[in-house]
Amino acid sequence: MSQSSASPIPHPSLSRDLQSDASIPNLLHSLHESHSSVLSLAASDDYIFSGSENQDISVWDKEMFTLKSTLKGHTGSVLALEYAREKQWLFSSSGDSTVRIWSTTSLSPIYVLDPYLETDAGDLFSLAWSPSLQTIYVGCQNTSLQWYDFREPISPPSSSSSPPEFYPLTDPPTYSISGALTPSTSATSVRKVHKFFDSYPQYERRPADIYAKNSTSFINGASSPESEHYIPVYGTLNIPASNVIDSAHYGYIYCMTILEGNTVQLATGSGDETVKLWNCANQYPILMHEFECTHGAILALVARGDTIYAGCQDGYVKVLDLETKTLVRTIIVQEGVDILSMSKIDSDLYTCSSNGWIKRWSASFDCTASWKGHEGIVLSSAITHCDGKENALRLITGGNDDYIKVWEVQAPKGRTDTFPYRQISIAENSKILANADLLPPANTMTFALSKFISIPSVSSSSNHTEDCRQAAIWLKKCLGQLGARTSLLPTGEGKNPLVLGTFNGTKAEKPKPRILFYGHYDVIPAPIQGWDSDPFTLTGRNGYLYGRGVTDDKGPIIAVACAAAELLSRKALDLDLVFLIEGEEECGSPGFGDAVRQHKDLIGEIDAILVSNSTWIGEDRPCITYGLRGVVHCTLEISNNRPDLHSGIEGGDVAEPMFDMVKLLSTLTDGQRVVQVPGFYDRVRPQTEGEKDLYKLLSDVTERPAASLSSRWREPSLTIHSLEISGPKNATVIPSLVKAQVSLRIVPDQDLDTIIHALCTYLESSFRALKSPNVLQINVEHTADWWLGNLDDPWFEALESAVQEVWGLEPLRIREGGSIPSVPYLEKEFKCHALHLPMGQSSDQAHLPNERISLVNLHKGKAVVERFFLNVAEKKLLSR
Residues marked as catalytic = 522, 585
Give CB contacts under 8 A, 24+ apart, made by 64-73.
65/29, 65/31, 65/406, 68/107, 68/220, 69/107, 69/219, 69/220, 70/218, 71/100, 71/102, 71/107, 71/109, 71/217, 72/217, 72/218, 73/100, 73/109, 73/112, 73/196, 73/197, 73/217
Q: Considering only CA atoms, which of 641, 652, 578, 594 is closest in space to residue 832?
A: 578
For the residues of 596-648, what is the DSSP string, one character each?
A: HHHTHHHH---SEEEE---B-SSSSS-EEEEEE-EEEEEEEEEE-SS--EEHH
Burial class (CB in 10 A: 0-12, 13-18, 19+), 794: middle
Element (H, E) at 50: strand 47-52
CB 266 within 8 A of CB 260: no
C-alpha 728/C-alpha 643 separation (Å) is 12
Show Cβ contacts of residue 657 under 8 Å, excluding neighbours closer than 6 positions.
638, 639, 640, 735, 736, 737, 738, 774
**CA–centroid distance for 623 within its chain:** 31
DSSP 3-state of 179 = coil
Supply φ then ψ for residue 54, to 5 degrees.
Answer: -85, 10
Kindly list the strands in the beta sheet with 367-372, ordered across the sheet, starting from the edge strand earlier in the chain.
339-345, 348-353, 357-361, 367-372
CB 774 within 8 A of CB 638: yes
Q: Considering only CA atoms, which of 617, 594, 606, 506 is closest in space to residue 835?
A: 606
Burial class (CB in 10 A: 0-12, 13-18, 19+), 844: buried
**One-letter amino acid of 308:** I
DSSP code, position 6: P
CB 422 within 8 A of CB 433: no
C-alpha 861/C-alpha 625 separation (Å) is 14
Show Cβ contacts of residue 297 under 8 Å, excluding neighbours closer than 6 positions.
251, 252, 254, 269, 270, 271, 272, 273, 312, 313
> For 504-535, what is the HEC assignment?
CCCCCCCCCCEEEEEEECCECCCCCCCCCCCC
DSSP code, position 458: B
CB 243 within 8 A of CB 146: yes
C-alpha 87/C-alpha 297 separation (Å) is 33
599 DSSP β-pair partners: none
679: left (phi over 0), alpha (psi -120 to 50) or beta: left
CB 370 within 8 A of CB 17: yes
**One-letter amino acid of 337:** V
How many residues can be counted in the chain?
A: 880
- Pairing of β 403-409 and β 26-32: antiparallel
In b/e form, how buried is each residue of 8-31, taking b as 16+ CB within 10 angstroms?
Answer: ebeebbbbbeebeeeebbeeebeb
